[in-house]
């Protein structure tokens, strides 16, 4: 097996695991509150990553300024992003989250203009508009009989807001991350994000209870921790180092395909023709926005 083939398989594997996270989150939320799930997931992920670094003897100590920047990245990319996403998935569906997540590159582009004065060509703005139209089809085209209830619209909005949090996470850490290993970067960010999740989780303490479905809940939490928070990031890092940037960027189009299949098979969620159309429209819009 060639190095490029291994990197390509790693890229596909990372997209599959990222896509599965929405369904696994939906399963875990049956017994855990959104903030409790975030705290448990990232406390466990921090412990696993710290163990890996110890085994590899790859400890790096960031400077004070860099540590502060990494902590801010953890607050944005872990606490804010996953608090919004978990609550959004709790109110909406895994299908909504999967399809709407494809709009994140367009959201990042808009935030880059507003926050950093980036310049987007006319074609890019057209792509952003197309992506947002597609998001509208996804949100308003859901099956009427969806189990998410009347709060589904608010859940979809929170999922889109999570994209804004991810955009500012990207801006905050894109420079500092180049000075440290991926393991060190993720360790500090996951650690800071997990600590910030603890007071949010304590707000849900009155509702804590013994899981009604012990095996599925534990399996979902472990999958989110080991597969989505650790293994997926490692596979993605392998792909980023060895494959062209354009190919890696285009791979996000695999996520809604995998995500839909997993949500339908595992959760039995329904997907309307309007939502399918919306997913295609969003992908086209993102392609226009980031086309070379």
Per-residue model confidence (pLDDT) at position 31: 95
Mean pLDDT of 27-31: 94
Q: What percent of the chain has pLDDT over 90?
A: 34
pLDDT in tens, 234-257: 787 777 667 765 566 666 666 777
pLDDT in tens, 168-182: 888 888 788 778 887
Per-residue model confidence (pLDDT) at position 256: 72
Contacts for 245 with CB less than 8 Å, ≥ 6 apart: none
Mean pLDDT of 257-275: 79
Q: How far is CA 180 from CA 43, 49, 58, 63, in A?
A: 21, 15, 10, 11
Burial of 18 (0-12, 13-18, 19+ CB in 10 A): buried
User: pLDDT band at residue 135, thresholds of 50, 70 and 90?
Assistant: confident
Per-residue model confidence (pLDDT) at position 75: 95
Euclidean distance between CA atoms 257 and 62, whole angstroms: 38
- Asked whether residue 5 carries a pLDDT value surpassing 60, the answer given is yes
Of 212 and 117, the one with more pLDDT = 212
Per-residue model confidence (pLDDT) at position 291: 63
Average pLDDT, the chain: 83
pTM: 0.81
Contact (CB, 8 A) for 176 and 184 = no
Per-residue model confidence (pLDDT) at position 146: 47
Per-residue model confidence (pLDDT) at position 231: 87
Half-sphere exposure of 132 (CA within 13 A, CB side): 12
pLDDT in tens, 187-204: 999 999 999 999 999 999
Per-residue model confidence (pLDDT) at position 194: 96
Per-residue model confidence (pLDDT) at position 12: 84
150: helix, strand or coil: helix
Instruction: Name the residue among 258, 256, 252 with its Cα closest to residue 239.
Output: 252
- Asked whether residue 145 carries a pLDDT value surpassing 50, the answer given is no
Per-residue model confidence (pLDDT) at position 247: 61
- Asked whether residue 51 carries a pLDDT value surpassing 90, the answer given is yes
Euclidean distance between CA atoms 88 and 86, whole angstroms: 5
Q: How far is CA 205 from CA 91, 190, 192, in A?
A: 19, 22, 21
Of 255 and 56, the one with more pLDDT = 56
- Asked whether residue 280 carries a pLDDT value surpassing 70, the answer given is yes
Q: How far is CA 217 from CA 25, 42, 159, 269, in A?
A: 9, 16, 22, 18
């Amino acid at each position: 097996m060639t190095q490029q083939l291994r990197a390509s398989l790693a890229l596909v594997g990372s997209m599959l695991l990222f896509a599965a996270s929405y369904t696994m989150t939906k399963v875990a939320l049956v017994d855990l509150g959104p903030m409790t799930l975030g705290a448990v997931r990232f406390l466990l992920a921090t412990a696993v990553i710290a163990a890996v670094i110890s085994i590899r003897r790859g400890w790096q100590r960031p400077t004070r300024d860099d540590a502060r920047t990494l902590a801010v990245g953890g607050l944005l990319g872990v606490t804010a992003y996953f608090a919004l996403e978990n609550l959004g998935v709790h109110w909406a569906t895994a299908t909504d989250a999967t399809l709407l997540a494809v709009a994140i590159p367009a959201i990042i582009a808009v935030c880059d203009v507003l926050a950093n004065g980036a310049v987007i060509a006319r074609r890019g703005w057209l792509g952003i508009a197309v992506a947002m139209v597609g998001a509208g089809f996804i949100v308003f085209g859901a099956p009427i009989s969806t189990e998410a209830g009347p709060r589904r619209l608010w859940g979809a909005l929170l999922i889109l807001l999570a994209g804004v949090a991810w955009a500012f996470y990207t801006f905050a850490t894109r420079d500092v991350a180049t000075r440290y290993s991926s393991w060190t970067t993720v360790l500090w960010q996951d650690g800071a994000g997990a600590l910030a999740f603890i007071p949010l989780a304590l707000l849900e303490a009155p509702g804590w209870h013994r899981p009604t479905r012990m095996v599925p809940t534990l399996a979902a939490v472990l999958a989110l921790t080991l597969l989505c928070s650790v293994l997926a990031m490692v596979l993605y890092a392998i792909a980023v180092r060895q494959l062209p940037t354009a190919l890696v960027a285009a791979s996000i189009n695999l996520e809604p395909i995998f995500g839909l299949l997993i949500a339908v098979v595992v959760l039995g969620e329904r997907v309307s023709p309007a939502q399918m159309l919306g997913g295609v429209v969003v992908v086209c819009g993102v392609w226009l926005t980031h086309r070379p």
